[in-house]
Structure formats: C-alpha cells, structure tokens
C-alpha cells in the first residue's frame, strides 16, 4: 500500500486545489488522507477523484451546523479500494470530526486525524490525545494505520528523546515540565506531557510503530512544518504515520516540494507499507 498523509492548509483557491489534486494524482497512491479539508474544498477533491472511493468528516457528522470557526476543519480519505466508513463518535474526543476512520475490505483500519493545536485550543488538544489513545488501547484490531497532523512533538533528539508541548527547554538546553500559563488552571504539565507522549513516543504500548523512525532512525532530522524565530527557520515533525507492528514499512519520507511550491504550509508524509 502506498499512502500519503497531508495537511492541505485549508486551501480554497481553485488554482491551488487543482495543483494539489494534480500532485496527488501524479503519486499513484492507493490511499490519500488529507487534513484541514473544508466543507467547500471537499467537493473539489471528490470531483477530481471521482473514479476513487472517498469519504469526508462532513459526510459523517451529526452536527454539520456546528462545524465552523475552530471546528471548520475536517478530513477526507480517498482510496483506490472499496471501504466502509466507521462511526466517528466511537472515539470520545471534543471534536469528533477531527478523526476519520475507514475499514478496508481486507480488515485494515485506517485512521487520519488533525489534533487541534494547543496554542488556540488549550485542553481540547489534550482531551483529543487522551480520547484517541484510550480508544486505540481498547481496539483489538491487529491491522491499523494512524496518520495525520498531530501538532507534536516540539522537538526530538538523536537518542530518541521527545520534547512535548508539556515541556519547556531553557537556554542551557535543560528540559522541564511546563505549559503555557494560559492553560495552567485547566491542565497540569504532567497530564499535557503524558497525553502527547503516549502516542508520539509510547505507541509501542498500542503495538504500533512510527514508520518514519522505524526506517530512518533519529539521525534523519526531516520536518514537515516550518516557522521562523529571530529570522532563523525552525522545523517541526508534526505529521506522522504509525502502523501496527504486523505491517512492514518499506519506505517513508517527507516530500518538501509541494510546500516549497506554496501548495500548503505542510510537507506531506509518504509511506509504502507491506
């Protein structure tokens, strides 16, 4: 299976949408998982990939009228192969539309998610991580792939240590538990750190592997989203593909070209999984 996961940055301009679709079509992917799809852009993708099977968060939502402001973002899955869309309300998270799940006819479950950023959503981010982790813990399905934009981690080191957004790094490089003071009354730093870490680093407890790290180790410092601080570009590896350990990832990488061409502020992650 050749899979791409990409946060398309809620683009709505038809010229950009066309270029995004052309890029996706050129990759000959078995499965496409997109985040930050809007109610308007979903139709463009469905029409372009009319010969594929597709479903969006908006198709499954019971509260479409509420999907605006910080809930306006959905996901879409486009597949060469037939599937069954699964009920998003099985997963107890604040914004059910932020996880989209399908089940392929061979039994493989595909999850794509866009974790709400903590800077603007506070504890909602943590409740999302906790609800998703709890569900995956209880789900006995041995063939799962989880992908998307997790807005985590803050940093990774060459020895495999992860710094979450429940931690801060001082000028001397020391790491301590701490969160934005804006959210301190809603969530402890310990809870915030654990919620992110349980999936980003402790996914082995879910019998899952980080496809990118499994193949490339921690020497590969590729990132999928970039910002500038004091004029210096700073990268974060926010986009991930996790697969059950029963699967064998044979390739996994970030394609920087569509981001550099201005098609999104995220670089897609691409994997081939046996």
pLDDT tens readout for residues 74-118? 999 999 999 999 999 999 999 999 999 999 999 999 999 999 999
**Which pLDDT score, from 0 to 100, does residue 173 have?**
85
pLDDT band at 72 (very low <50, low <70, confident <90, very high): very high
Is residue 123 in some structural domain? yes
Residue 231 has pLDDT above 90, yes or no: no
pLDDT number for residue 141: 83
| pLDDT for residue 117 | 96
User: Does residue 259 fall inside a structural domain?
Assistant: yes
Number of folded domains in the chain? 1
Is 185 within a domain?
A: no
Contact status, residue 15 vs residue 44, Cβ threshold 8 Å: no
109-114 and 144-149 beta bridge pairing: parallel
Q: Are 181 and 121 in contact (CB under 8 A)?
A: no
Query: What pLDDT is stored for residue 228 in this prediction?
Result: 84
Predicted local confidence at residue 96, as pLDDT: 96
**Is residue 46 situated within a structural domain?**
yes
Confidence at 15, pLDDT banded by 50, 70, 90: very high
Q: Is residue 32 part of a domain?
A: yes
- What is the band of 197 on the pLDDT scale with cuts at 50, 70, 90? very high
Is residue 75 in a domain? yes
Alpha helices in the chain (DSSP H): 14-26, 41-48, 57-60, 118-121, 123-138, 189-200, 211-216, 257-260
For residue 13, count CB atoms less than 10 angstroms from its CB and return exposed for 0-12, middle for 13-18, buried for 19 or more: exposed
Task: Identify which has the larger pLDDT, 181 or 127.
Answer: 127
pLDDT at 229 over 90: no
Residue 140 pLDDT > 80: no
Contact 129, 153 (CB under 8 A): no
> Is residue 181, in this structure, part of any structural domain at all?
no
CATH number, residue 216: 3.60.10.10
Of the candidates 145, 153, 149, 126, the one whose C-alpha atom is nearest the C-alpha of residue 74 is: 149
Closest CA to 76 of 47, 101, 108: 101
Residue 212 has pLDDT above 90, yes or no: yes
Res 138 pLDDT > 80: yes
Confidence grade of residue 249 (pLDDT, cut at 50, 70, 90): very high
Query: What average pLDDT does range 252-261 have in this prediction?
Result: 98
43 within a domain of the structure (yes/no):
yes
Which residue range(s) make up the domain with 145? 2-159+192-273
**Burial class of residue 137, CB neighbours in 10 A (0-12, 13-18, 19+):** exposed
Residue 172, pLDDT > 90, answer no
Query: pTM of the predicted model, to two decimals?
Result: 0.96
């Amino acid at each position: 299976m050749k899979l791409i996961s990409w946060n398309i940055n809620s683009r709505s301009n038809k010229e950009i949408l066309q270029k995004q679709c052309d890029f996706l079509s050129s990759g000959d992917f078995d499965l496409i998982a997109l985040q930050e799809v809007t109610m308007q852009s979903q139709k463009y993708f469905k029409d372009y990939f009319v010969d594929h099977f597709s479903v969006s968060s908006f198709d499954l939502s019971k509260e479409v009228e509420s999907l605006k402001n910080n809930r306006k973002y959905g996901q879409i899955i486009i597949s060469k192969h037939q599937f069954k869309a699964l009920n998003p309300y099985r997963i107890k998270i604040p914004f059910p539309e932020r996880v989209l799940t399908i089940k392929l006819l061979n039994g493989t479950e595909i999850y794509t998610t866009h974790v709400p950023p903590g800077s603007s959503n506070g504890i909602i981010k943590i409740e999302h991580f906790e609800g998703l982790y709890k569900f995956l813990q209880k789900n006995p399905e041995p063939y799962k792939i989880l992908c998307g934009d997790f807005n985590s981690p803050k940093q990774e080191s060459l020895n495999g240590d992860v710094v979450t957004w429940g931690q801060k790094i001082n000028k001397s490089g020391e790491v301590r538990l701490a969160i934005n003071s804006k959210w301190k009354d809603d969530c402890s730093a310990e809870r915030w750190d654990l919620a992110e870490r349980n999936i980003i680093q402790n996914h082995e407890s879910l019998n899952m592997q980080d496809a990118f790290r499994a193949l490339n180790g921690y020497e590969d410092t590729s990132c999928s989203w970039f910002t500038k601080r004091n004029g210096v570009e700073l990268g974060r590896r926010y986009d991930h593909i996790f697969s059950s350990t029963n699967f064998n990832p044979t390739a996994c990488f970030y394609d920087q070209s569509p981001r550099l061409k201005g098609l999104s502020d995220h670089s897609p992650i691409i994997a081939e999984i046996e």
